[in-house]
Amino acid sequence: MDSSLFIDIGSYQVQKNGEDCFGDTVYAKKIPEEQRIIGILSDGLGSGVKANILSSMTTRMAMKFMEDNTDLQVASETMMDALPICQIRKISYATFSIVDTELEGKTRIFEMDNPRYIFIRNNHLFDIKGREFSSPKWKDRKIFVSQVNNLPEDRIIVMSDGVTQAGIGNRKYPLGWGRDGCINFVLKTLEQDPHISSFTLSKKIVNEALDKENGRKAGDDISCMCLYFRNPRKLLIVTGPPFDEEKDKEIAELVSTYDGRIAICGGTTANIIERELCVKCEIDKTSFDSKIPMASTMEGVDLVTEGILTLTDVYRMLKEGIDKNSNTASVRLAKMLLESDKIDFVVGTKINVAHQDPSLPMELEIRRNIVKKIFRLLQSKYLKEISVRYV
């Protein structure tokens, strides 16, 4: 099996009450050639436009330095030198947390003056030892460096001090929510929903911090970025009968051995798999709908649907959003696609002559075309990893 992990990275921010723009900046970038993801969170001095400029300058510079693998000391000195000096406080300043991770190996984390990151493994807080150093030029600025080897289900959470200091001065939280408060909240949330996405987790943390503030008015910019390492969620879509009937067996074998979820799209395709694998496939009447043919259930397969109409409707929903309060076969398939990280399409290219009758509606597309539209959209809009094989 492919050993590389999938990283789900997500963030959420609110700005200080009354400000028009964020004083914190979150910036993440994927470098596919190096199988590497870099995520940066920076908190600019003060709030509003000035802080925004400081923090965005910091993240952009830091990203460039990280990409080029510049020496950390040189990089951080250059950044501190380059930032404009605040007229009130007479210093140039923005904090940062940098998470630099390689899909198959280690993750390095560099932090300066942000709350220490939270590392969760096996649903427990995991303390990672690191090293602190400062530059001769800026002695009071300490950079904390640590390194960890990723395992599936690890999570890294970085945040600005808006999270830890939320509610500061309140009667209930005189010293703010604190990092410990945040850790407890994260552990509790993960207990309820172990597979929560990074975006949802970030949003929950920020909202919880906001709850601590008087009248839910943020006293500082509150930002959070989460990384979730996991084995890729794989999905196999088999659609269409193979051009050569001799391949039927091969496709059926693929279905029976695939290590992930499986969906079959196409009545004839399902009939072929049913015949080859000697399993029973039955219509699932709970998916009844007047526009989309019903789904079926088959042992060892997660979803069986009709082909072209369902795929066309899935394409529409991927563009416009998934229909709410609906349980049609196409809604189920669209949700499955979005829940997966890596999707393998196996497309049979045999043409069903009955579909070419000119009296049929024009929307009946050729399978190859509709599949092409779907996977391109999944790649560009949803950043899924796609493979397609025509048989």
Task: Name the residue nearer to other proteins (CB basis): 66 or 277.
Answer: 277
State which of residues 257, 286, 290, 325 lies at the interface with other proteins (CB under 8 A): 290
**Helix H or strand E encompassing 81:** helix 72-82
Of 282-290, 313-321, 372-380, 382-390, the window that binds other proteins (rule: CB under 8 A) is 282-290
Answer yes or no: are the C-beta atoms of 268 and 351 closer than 8 Å. Answer: no
State which of residues 283, 369, 376, 389 lies at the interface with other proteins (CB under 8 A): 283
- Apex 322 CA angle, 321 and 327, nearest 5: 170
**Helix H or strand E encompassing 223:** strand 222-230
State which of residues 148, 270, 301, 391 lies at the interface with other proteins (CB under 8 A): 270
CA distance 316 to 339: 17
State which of residues 90, 131, 171, 291 lies at the interface with other proteins (CB under 8 A): 291
307 burial class (0-12, 13-18, 19+ CB within 10 angstroms)?
Answer: buried
Query: Binding to other proteins by residue 359, rule CB under 8 A?
Result: yes
What is the secondary structure of 125-153 as a DSSP string?
E----EEEE--SS-TT--EEEEEEE--TT
Of 150-158, 206-214, 218-226, 347-355, the window that binds other proteins (rule: CB under 8 A) is 347-355
Six token digits for residue 223 = 């930002």
Cα atoms in the 13 Å half-sphere on the side-chain side of 69: 4
State which of residues 199, 288, 382, 390 lies at the interface with other proteins (CB under 8 A): 288
Query: Binding to other proteins by residue 281, rule CB under 8 A?
Result: yes
State which of residues 352, 372, 377, 388 lies at the interface with other proteins (CB under 8 A): 352
DSSP-H helix ranges across 88-214? 161-164, 178-192, 198-212
Q: What residues numbered 307-326 form the site for other proteins, per CB under 8 A? A: 307-309
State which of residues 52, 296, 328, 330 lies at the interface with other proteins (CB under 8 A): 296
Task: Name the residue nearer to other proteins (CB basis): 1 or 353.
Answer: 353
Distances (CA, A) of 182 to 158, 159, 212: 11, 10, 11
Query: Binding to other proteins by residue 268, rule CB under 8 A?
Result: yes
Of 66-74, 168-176, 248-256, 351-359, the window that binds other proteins (rule: CB under 8 A) is 351-359
Residues that bind other proteins (CB under 8 A): 267-268, 270-271, 281, 283, 285, 288, 290-291, 293-294, 296, 304, 306-309, 352-355, 357, 359-361, 364
